[in-house]
Amino acid sequence: MTEANDWLAAFPIQPATEAVEALYQAWTELAEKPRANFNPKTNESALTKRLKVYIENYTARQRGLLGMWAAEDIIGEMDPSTGEMIEERRTDIVYG
């Protein structure tokens, strides 16, 4: 197998493309008209959560995407002796 084939086997283009197209469709639908809780003044994490719920409940079903969607997942490292967060990151939206 070549490196390109190995990469495509691990990250198939078709499912990734379908997920991105679904995200684009969901965002376009939500942003097409003013909404009280989805607008330019809504904070980013709230937009992300609403987009995830919308895509999971509506767009993904319409498109036949059966994978799992997740949003605002926290990834990090902590000091177990103190409980202090040493590093913290979060994902926006994940499909798998």
What ranges do the domains of the chain cover? 3-95
More confident residue, 72 or 63: 63
- Cα separation, 31 vs 70, in Å, equals 20
pLDDT(65) > 60:
yes
* 5-30 pLDDT, tens digit each: 777 777 667 778 899 999 999 999 99
Which run of H or of E encompasses 33? none
More confident residue, 31 or 94: 31
